[in-house]
Amino acid sequence: MDAVNEFLIFLDGFLGSAIWFPTLLLSTGVFFTLYLGFPQIRYFKHAIGVTTGKFDKEGAKGDTTHFQALSTALSGTVGTGNIGGVALALHLGGPAALFWMWMTAFFGMTSKFVEVTLSHKYRNVTPDGTMAGGPMYYMEKGLNAKWLAIVFAAATVLSSFGTGNLPQINSIAAGLESTFSLDPLITASILSVLLALVIIGGITRIAKVAATIVPTMAFIYLVGAFAVIIPNVGNVIPSFAAILSDAFTGSAAVGGFLGATFAYAFDRGVNRGLYSNEAGQGSAPIAHAAARTDEPADEGMVSILEPFIDTIVICTITGLVILSSGVWMEKFDNEFQRADMSFISGVYSETDATDVEQLFSYLNGDDSTANGFSGQVILNGGVAQNTQDFTLLNARSFAENALYSRDGELLTETVTVVDGQLQDTSISVSGESLLHSVPLTTRAFTRGFFGEYGQYIVSVGLMLFAFSTAIAWSYYGDRAMTYLFGPKSVLPYRVVYVLGFFYAALADTTIVWNLSLITIVLMTVPNLIGILLMHKEMKRTVSEYWEKTEHGKHGT
C-alpha cells in the first residue's frame, strides 16, 4: 500500500498538484465570466425562477424536473468534500485555502453554466426512451472530436469510482466507526445493499431519492454547524480576517500547524474546491441532461446555483466551524495512518522556526536539510527509547506521546524503519497530532451547544451526504458506459460499482483521497478544453435564449 500511495502522489505531482491545473481551471472560469458578462450575478435571480418551475412548459422532453435535476447534481457534489474535503484543505493550506475555494466556486458558477448548457444542447434519447447527455455528446456532435469524447467518457467511469464511490463510503465507514464504534464491515454490507436497490431503478428513482435526501441532510448539518458557530461567534470575524489576509501570502505556522506558502494554499484550495463543487469537471451536466426542458440555457441557469449552495454556503459554514473552534491547530489523540506518518532523522522542535521551515519543505518534496530516518526504533512498553535519533511526524505535525502496539498489546522489541517508514505493517502507532479530513470536522462539531453529541450530527450528515453522492455518481458512470459500450454494459458496471463501494469501506483513507485527486484531473481537462473551443457557440446559444423565449420579458 505504501508503494501504491507513493505512486499516486508521484502522478498527482504532475497533475492536480502541479500549478498548471488549478490555473487552467480558474482561468477558464474567469474567461467565461468576462466573456459572458458575469452570468453568475446577472442570471442568479432568474436561475431561482427556472428551478422552482416558474417557466416550465407542457410537453418538454426529459425525465426529471429542474429541481430534481439540481438535487441529483447537488447530491453528487455535496458529499465528503463539504465535510472532509474542507477540513483537509484547511489542514494543508490553512485559512487561505478557504479563500481559494471561494474563488473556485464563484468562477465555477460560470463554468458550470457553460458545460451544462452545451451538454444539454447535444443530449441524446437512448433506445429505452431515457435521456443521455454530458460533455461526451457535445464533444462528438459539436466539436466533431469523438476521440476527445471517448477520453472523457473513460475518465468519467474511472472518476465515478475515484470521486463518487470510494472516498464516500470510506469516509462514512471512518465516521461511523469513530463515533459509534461500528465495524466498517457492517457499514459496508448494509449501505452496499441500499445502494444497489436505489441505482437499479435508474435516473427516475435516483432523482426522487436525491430530492428527498438533499434538503433533509442540509437542514440537519446546518443546525449542527450553527450550534458551534454561535458560541464561538467571537472568533468568526478573526477567522474571516485570517482567510482574507492570508490569501496572497500563505498561512503562517501556528499551534501544531506547520504553515503553508501562497502556492500551496492556492493549489490545495482550488483542488479541494473543485472536489467539492465539481465545476468544470463535466459531471453535473450528465444529471442536468435528464431535465424536462427544450431550452438548453434553461438548465444552464439552474446549474449556476450548484457551486453557490455547495461551496459558498455549505463549505464556508464547515470552514467557520473548524476555524472558529480552533481545532485545526490543536493536537488530539488518534491512531496514526501509515500514509500520514513519517520518521525524520535527527531531533527537530516545533518552537524553532528554521526546523519548521525545513520540515514543511521536506513534506512538500522541496529542497530541505531534513531526511527520512533509516534505522532501529527501540521500544519498551510501547514507548520509543531512542527518540534522540529521530522525530516522528503525523498528519503534517510533530507527533507526541506515541505508543507502538500490535493487536492491542504494547510492544517491547526493536522495529525497523527505512526511509521514514515502518517496515512492519502489523504495528499500530497512536498518540497526539493534528487531525484532518472527517475526524477534524467531527472534533470541531463537539465545540458547540451539543458538546460531544455534536459528533453524531457529523456522522449522520456525512452518511447522507456521502451516500447520496455515491448514488449520483453511479448514474454518471452508467451514462458514460452507455456512450462507450451501449446500454448492455450498464448492469455489469453497476455490479462492479457496488462491489467497489463495499471494498472501499475497508481501505486506507489517504490512498483513496489521493486516487480521487488523479481521476478528477483526467476528467476535467478534456472538458475544459472542449468548452473553451466552443465559446462562440455558447455565447450565441445564450443570446438566442433571451431573444426567442418568454423569459426575456421577466428580466435578467
Instruction: State how far the Cα of 39 lies from the Cα of 34, in Å rounded to an integer.
Output: 9
Count of structural domains, the chain: 2
- Cell numbers standing for residue 243: 482567510
* pLDDT value at 364 more than 50: yes
Q: Tell me, what CATH number does 136's domain have?
A: 1.20.1740.10
Same domain, 376 and 307: no
Residue 402 lies in a domain: yes
Bridge pairing between strands 332-336 and 428-433: antiparallel
- Cell numbers standing for residue 437: 479530513
Instruction: State how far the Cα of 88 lies from the Cα of 81, in Å rounded to an integer.
Output: 9
80: left (phi over 0), alpha (psi -120 to 50) or beta: alpha
* pLDDT value at 553 more than 70: no
Residue 46 lies in a domain: no
Same domain, 347 and 380: yes
Does the CA dihedral 137-142-144-149 come out positive or negative? negative
Average pLDDT over residues 100-129: 90
Name 17's Cβ contacts closer than 8 Å, sequence gap at least 6: 267, 271, 517
Same domain, 213 and 276: yes
Same domain, 298 and 358: no
- Cβ(102)–Cβ(309) below 8 Å: no
What pLDDT, on a 0 to 100 scale, did the predictor assign at position 317?
94
Beta bridge partners of 254: 257
What pLDDT, on a 0 to 100 scale, did the predictor assign at position 509?
60
Instruction: State how far the Cα of 147 lies from the Cα of 513, in Å rounded to an integer.
Output: 29
Same domain, 232 and 363: no
Q: What are phi and psi of 190, to 5 degrees?
A: -65, -50
Instruction: State how far the Cα of 141 lies from the Cα of 52, in Å rounded to an integer.
Output: 31
Cα-Cα-Cα-Cα torsion 432, 433, 437, 438, nearest 10 degrees, comes to 20
Nearest to 114 by CA among 520, 527, 544: 527
Same domain, 80 and 228: yes
Among 196-200, 443-447, 552-556, the range with the most confident prediction by mean pLDDT is 443-447
Q: What are phi and psi of 41, to 5 degrees?
A: -100, -50
Pairs from 529-532 (Cβ < 8 Å, separation ≥ 24): 529/148, 530/118, 530/135, 530/138, 530/139, 530/143, 530/145, 530/148, 530/152, 531/28, 531/32, 531/111, 531/114, 531/115, 531/118, 531/135, 531/280, 532/28, 532/31
Average pLDDT over residues 246-265: 83
- Cell numbers standing for residue 206: 435516483
Which percentage of the chain shows pLDDT scores above 70? 97
* pLDDT value at 459 more than 80: yes
Looking at every residue in the chain, the average pLDDT score rounds to 88
Cα distances from 289 to residues 221, 364, 367, in angstroms, run 29, 41, 48
Residue 397, classed as helix, strand or coil, is strand
Nearest to 545 by CA among 143, 114, 66, 144: 114
Cα distances from 117 to residues 3, 78, 292, 298, 539, in angstroms, run 42, 21, 13, 8, 11
Last residue of a domain, one of 377, 398, 433: 433
Residue 28: pLDDT band (50, 70, 90) is very high
* First-last CA distance in the chain: 53
Residue 39 lies in a domain: no
Report which DSSP code applies to 78: S
Last residue of a domain, one of 384, 413, 433: 433
* pLDDT value at 555 more than 90: no
Range of the domain at 245: 64-329+444-548
Same domain, 421 and 484: no
The residue with cell 469516509 is 171
Residue 139 lies in a domain: yes
Residue 387: pLDDT band (50, 70, 90) is very high
Same domain, 353 and 372: yes
Average pLDDT over residues 246-264: 83
* pLDDT value at 552 more than 60: no
- Cell numbers standing for residue 143: 466539436
- Cβ(25)–Cβ(267) below 8 Å: no
Which percentage of the chain shows pLDDT scores above 90? 51
Average pLDDT over residues 530-553: 86
Same domain, 469 and 491: yes
Instruction: State how far the Cα of 439 lies from the Cα of 171, in Å rounded to an integer.
Output: 9
Helical (H) or strand (E) element with 264: helix 262-277
Name 240's Cβ contacts closer than 8 Å, sequence gap at least 6: none
Bridge pairing between strands 131-132 and 421-422: unpaired
Same domain, 356 and 311: no
What pLDDT, on a 0 to 100 scale, did the predictor assign at position 394?
94
For 375-386, write each residue's pLDDT tens digit.
999 999 999 999
Residue 379 lies in a domain: yes
What pLDDT, on a 0 to 100 scale, did the predictor assign at position 554?
46
Residue 242, classed as helix, strand or coil, is helix
What pLDDT, on a 0 to 100 scale, did the predictor assign at position 132?
84
What pLDDT, on a 0 to 100 scale, did the predictor assign at position 248?
87
Last residue of a domain, one of 406, 433, 460: 433
* pLDDT value at 556 more than 50: no
Nearest to 152 by CA among 118, 179, 195, 182: 118
Residue 33 lies in a domain: no
Residue 44 lies in a domain: no
* pLDDT value at 477 more than 80: yes
Choice among 44-53, 230-239, 360-369 with the minimum mean pLDDT: 360-369
More confident residue, 500 or 129: 500
Same domain, 252 and 290: yes
* pLDDT value at 479 more than 80: yes
- Cβ(408)–Cβ(402) below 8 Å: no
Q: What is the CA radius of gyration of the chain?
A: 24
What pLDDT, on a 0 to 100 scale, did the predictor assign at position 275?
67
Same domain, 207 and 314: yes
Average pLDDT over residues 294-321: 92
More confident residue, 481 or 249: 481
Residue 427 lies in a domain: yes
* pLDDT value at 485 more than 90: yes
Nearest to 376 by CA among 338, 424, 409: 424
Bridge pairing between strands 341-345 and 332-336: unpaired
Residue 277: pLDDT band (50, 70, 90) is confident
Residue 529: pLDDT band (50, 70, 90) is very high
Residue 550: pLDDT band (50, 70, 90) is low
What pLDDT, on a 0 to 100 scale, did the predictor assign at position 427?
95
